[in-house]
């Protein structure tokens, strides 16, 4: 990464009016061979991530692992403390009275899975990220309101300031803006 | 409601009220909801209500300070009634805290789109109710400053919590519930916080929302992971809700006290929790929609649906009461029979009959559509149900304890000033947090409202034949 000279701009971003326009543009850009791009919308648009060949998310796997760690860890903690570390006879019950350990195991499974889901989602999204070049675009604050944006990044192999601008103009956007670093 | 029925009813004159009033666009929903926080003047109502709530919160602080100084003897508890208001309040608050997650998670999984405009503040309500609830068992400990003994932490005496005790299960259930509710609420808020950041004009306000939004920018890949994470959280929260109130009911059922030792408790507690939670959502939603003029978002359809849920869960709770009496009779145990008799005709009989009137009789109005659409009736019933559910917990906790096996050990329980101060103080804390939330954060999910508006537009554009999913 460092060997390459840094491109003068972050990329070019086109603004669209509706979700259909954005979806169509994303599909066309992908068909045209652009890969390093991202679409921005004020609410989730069905099929948008898929149009960029993004299908598999690792969030479910992370959640599953979190749940397994929480559940197994919880049960192990109870079993270990009740039978090995601090065995104590309560009303003549066996030391490993596993049915009594289930509620805590269940709660910790949910806790582990939920925390993993949230932190996993944030980490995979590289959030928190207080600064992003797109925030330099004045119009971009509409992305959280009613406008839809497609950004083709300068890192893309096919990116060319002139040709890409012409391509984006051809998608009939509201406007095309340069994104400074 | 299924598509089939929607189409059928659309032919009739009494078409169901839509979940959003027509005529809204992406930008107008964003504007309208964010303006409540960002640009519109804080209504005078807010100041009056906030200050009042805050005074009660101060009362709570005085009550807690005095409790820490003097000990639990300032309450009306005694032997045999060792669990008084603190536990009643705990169960009441945690029950109220169930509707938020249920509305958000369960109705999301069931694709009930009407949940959208009430989920945010129902979730906030959950969070604050759980905060109130969590306080009470700790205050009740006698030495609240050593509450951390309940957690497994590396201590020098090598001690561990007693895993076979429902009270320890409770610690895990309630703290997990508080954490997961917070995560669910916060994850739901992130895109809206981004919207608020972009709408805010003042530098400090921008920085505040910007910090909380964590740099959310609505990228498609982000949305993709976000939606999956949100759905997973909903899937995790739904069984969690059920487990939490079941565990709370274990606090009672694992004991052998007549009136507690009953297998019906877990489902009956969960139904009661949903019942009281929806009542609280209604008590809050009715004034809020009026004062903030969001009747277009929280429509009659929402109130109507919530009234139906109150009716159904009210019937379940009524079934619970009936079955307790039946089981007492059928068990042949004289203690169980006496408990039922004492509950209905003993010194606390007025509590029982008030409970029946509030929780079983009052929701019966909602069989009638006219009543389900009558705001004063809805509001009155929701308040009555809140009171009734508090009294129900009083009946379970106090009335069961005060006369158990041996008449020589019987006693009476009367609340003291400090009991009442703590109860009303906790209401003050709850409302204080609620009003702060309404003032600072978008109380309706802007993102989900945009989606709803978008779907409406799409549907309108399609031909009726294309509506089948």
Coil vs helix vs strand at B320: helix
pLDDT value, residue B469: 36
**% of chain B exceeding 90 in pLDDT:** 68
Mean local confidence (pLDDT), B48-63: 96
Residue B456: the pLDDT is: 64
Q: Which residues of B touch A132 (CB under 8 A)?
A: 215, 217
What is the distance between the alpha carbons of residues A34 and A53, in angstroms, rounded to a whole number?
Answer: 11
Q: Which residues pair with A37 in a beta bridge?
A: A152
Q: Name the closest residue on chain B to residue A62, using Cα atoms.
A: B229
For residue A49, give the nearest of B160, B215, B220 by CB distance: B220
Cα angle value B442/B443/B447 (rounded, 5°): 60
Q: CB-based contact (8 Å) between B203 and chain A? A: no
Q: How many CA atoms lie within 13 Å of B362's alpha carbon, on the beta-carbon side?
A: 25
What pLDDT is stored for residue A112 in this prediction? 97
Cis upstream peptide for A128 (omega within 30°): yes
Task: For B386-427, write each residue's pLDDT tens digit.
Answer: 999 999 999 999 999 999 899 999 999 999 999 999 999 999
Taking an 8 Å cut-off on Cβ atoms, the answer to whether A146 and B169 are in contact is no
Q: Which range is least confidently modeled, B100-104, B271-275, B394-398, B435-439?
A: B100-104
Q: Which of residues 28-57 of A touch B (CB under 8 A)?
A: 38-45, 48-49, 51-52, 54, 57
Q: Look up residue A87 and give its two tokens.
A: 């065995």
Element (DSSP H or E) covering residue A176: strand A175-179
- Per-residue pLDDT tens over the stretch B358-373: 999 999 999 999 999 9
Contact state of B163 with A100 under an 8 Å Cβ cutoff: yes
CB contact under 8 A, A128 and B215: yes
Question: What are B205-228's pLDDT values in tens digits?
Answer: 999 999 999 999 989 999 999 999
Residue environment code for A61-83, b if the CB has 16+ CB neighbours within 10 A, otherwise e: ebbeebbebbbeebbebbbebbe
pLDDT tens digit sequence for A165-174? 889 988 888 8
Of A90, A110, A127, the CB nearest to B164: A90
A105 Cβ under 8 Å from any chain B Cβ: no
Nearest to B217 among A86, A104, A134 (CB): A134
CB B361 within 8 A of CB B317: no
> Which of B176, B219, B454 shows the shortest C-beta gap to A107?
B176
Secondary structure of B425-452 as H, E, C letters: HHHHHHHHHHHHHHHHCCCCCHHHHHHH
Q: Is A110 on the interface with B (CB under 8 A)?
A: yes
- Under the banding of pLDDT at 50, 70 and 90, the label for residue A50 is confident
Instruction: Indicate the pTM of the whole model.
Output: 0.90
C-alpha B244/C-alpha B364 separation (Å) is 28
Alpha-carbon distance A146 to nearest alpha carbon in chain B (angstroms):
5
Contact B220 A63 (CB under 8 A): no
| One-character DSSP codes across A20-38 | HHHHHHHHHHHHTT--SEE
Q: Which of B198, B240, B451 is opposite residue A141, by nearest beta carbon?
A: B198
Quick one: tokens of A162?
Answer: 């002139």
Strands of A21-174, DSSP E: 37-40, 148-153
**How do beta strands A37-40 and A175-179 pair?**
unpaired
Cβ distance A133 to A181 under 8 Å?
yes
Q: ipTM exceeding 0.90?
A: yes
CB-facing half-sphere around the CA of B258: CA atoms within 13 A:
22
- The CATH number assigned to the domain with range A11-56+133-179 reads 3.30.70
Q: Closest Cα partner for B122 from B103, B145, B147?
A: B103
CB B280, CB B99: distance < 8 Å: yes
User: Which band of pLDDT confidence, cut at 50, 70 and 90, is reported for residue B94?
Assistant: very high
Residue A61 touches partner B, C-beta closer than 8 Å: no
A160/B contact by beta carbon, under 8 A: no
Evaluate whether B214 touches A129 at the Cβ level (below 8 Å): yes
| Chain A hits for B223, Cβ within 8 Å | 41, 43-45, 48-49
Least confidently predicted of A6-10, B78-82, B175-179, B311-315:
A6-10
What number is the average pLDDT over the span B259-277? 92
Could you report the per-residue pLDDT of B143-157, keeping only the tens digit for each? 999 999 889 988 888
Q: Residue B24: pLDDT band by 50, 70, 90 thresholds? A: confident
Chain segment A77-127, per-residue pLDDT in tens: 999 999 999 898 888 889 999 999 999 999 999 999 999 999 999 999 998
Residue B62 has pLDDT above 90, yes or no: yes
Q: Which chain A residues are Cβ-neighbours of B247 within 8 angstroms? A: 103, 107
Residue B99: predicted pLDDT? 83
Give residue limits of the domains in chain A: 11-56+133-179, 59-124
For range B234-252, the mean pLDDT? 93
Mean local confidence (pLDDT), B153-164 = 87
In chain A, residues with a C-beta closer than 8 Å to the C-beta of B169 are: 103-104, 107
**Residue B140 reports pLDDT greater than 70:** yes
Distance between CA atoms of A40 and A38, rounded to whole angstroms? 7
Mean pLDDT, range A9-19, rounded to an integer = 89
Query: Residue A3: its pLDDT value, please?
Result: 54
Asked whether the beta carbons of residue B219 and residue A38 sit closer than 8 angstroms, the reply is yes
């Amino acid at each position: 990464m460092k060997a390459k000279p840094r491109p003068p701009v972050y990329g070019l971003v086109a603004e669209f009016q509706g979700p259909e326009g954005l979806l169509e543009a994303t599909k066309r850009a992908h068909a045209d061979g652009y890969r390093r791009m991202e679409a921005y919308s004020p609410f989730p648009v069905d099929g948008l991530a898929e149009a960029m060949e993004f299908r598999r998310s690792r969030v479910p796997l992370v959640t599953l692992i979190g749940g397994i760690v929480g559940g197994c860890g919880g049960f192990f903690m109870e079993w270990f403390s009740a039978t090995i570390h601090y065995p104590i006879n309560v009303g003549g019950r066996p030391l490993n009275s596993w049915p009594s350990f289930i509620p805590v195991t269940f709660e910790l499974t949910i806790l582990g899975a939920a925390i993993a889901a949230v932190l996993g989602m944030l980490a995979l999204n590289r959030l928190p990220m207080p600064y992003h070049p797109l925030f330099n675009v004045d119009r971009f604050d509409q992305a959280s309101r009613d406008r839809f944006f497609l950004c083709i990044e300068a890192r893309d192999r096919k990116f060319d300031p002139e040709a890409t601008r012409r391509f984006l103009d051809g998608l009939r956007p509201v406007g095309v803006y340069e994104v400074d670093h | 409601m299924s598509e089939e029925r929607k189409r059928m009813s659309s032919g009739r004159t009494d078409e169901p009220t839509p979940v959003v009033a027509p005529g809204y666009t992406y930008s107008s929903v964003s504007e309208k909801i964010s303006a409540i926080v960002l640009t519109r003047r804080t209504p005078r109502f807010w100041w009056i209500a906030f200050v009042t709530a805050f005074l009660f919160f101060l009362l709570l602080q005085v009550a807690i300070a005095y409790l820490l100084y003097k000990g639990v003897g300032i309450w009306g508890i005694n032997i045999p009634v060792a669990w008084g208001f603190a536990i009643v309040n705990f169960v009441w608050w945690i029950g109220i805290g169930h509707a938020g997650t249920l509305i958000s998670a369960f109705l999301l999984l069931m694709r009930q789109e009407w949940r959208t405009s009430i989920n945010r503040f129902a979730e906030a309500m959950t969070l604050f109710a759980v905060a109130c609830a969590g306080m009470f068992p700790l205050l009740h400990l006698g030495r609240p400053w050593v509450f951390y003994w309940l957690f497994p932490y590396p201590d020098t005496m090598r001690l561990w919590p007693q895993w076979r005790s429902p009270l320890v299960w409770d610690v895990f259930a309630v703290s997990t519930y508080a954490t997961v509710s917070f995560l669910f609420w916060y994850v739901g808020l992130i895109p809206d916080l981004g919207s608020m950041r972009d709408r805010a004009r003042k530098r400090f306000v921008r920085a505040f929302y910007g910090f909380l939004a964590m740099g959310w920018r609505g990228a498609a890949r982000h949305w993709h992971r976000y939606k999956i994470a949100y759905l997973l959280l909903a899937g995790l929260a739904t069984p969690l809700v059920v487990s939490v109130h079941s565990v709370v009911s274990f606090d009672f059922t694992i004991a052998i006290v007549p009136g507690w030792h009953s297998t019906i408790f877990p489902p009956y507690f969960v139904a009661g929790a949903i019942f009281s939670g929806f009542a609280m959502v209604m008590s809050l939603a009715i004034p809020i929609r009026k004062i903030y003029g969001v009747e277009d978002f929280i429509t009659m359809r929402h109130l109507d649906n919530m009234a139906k849920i109150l009716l159904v869960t009210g019937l379940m709770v009524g079934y619970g009461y009936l079955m307790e009496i039946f089981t007492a009779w059928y068990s042949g145990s004289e203690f169980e029979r006496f408990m039922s008799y004492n509950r209905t005709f003993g010194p606390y009989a007025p509590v029982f009959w008030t409970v029946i009137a509030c929780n079983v009789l009052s929701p019966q109005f909602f069989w009638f559509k006219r009543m389900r659409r009558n705001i004063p009736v809805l509001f009155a019933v929701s308040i009555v149900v809140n009171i009734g559910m508090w009294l129900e917990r009083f009946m379970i906790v106090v009335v069961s304890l005060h006369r158990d096996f041996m008449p020589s050990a019987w006693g009476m329980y009367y609340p003291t000033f400090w009991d009442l101060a703590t109860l009303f103080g906790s209401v003050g804390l709850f409302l204080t947090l609620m009003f702060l939330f309404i003032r600072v954060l978008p109380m309706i999910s802007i993102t989900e409202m945009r989606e709803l508006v978008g779907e409406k537009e799409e549907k309108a554009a399609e031909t009726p034949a294309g509506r089948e999913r």
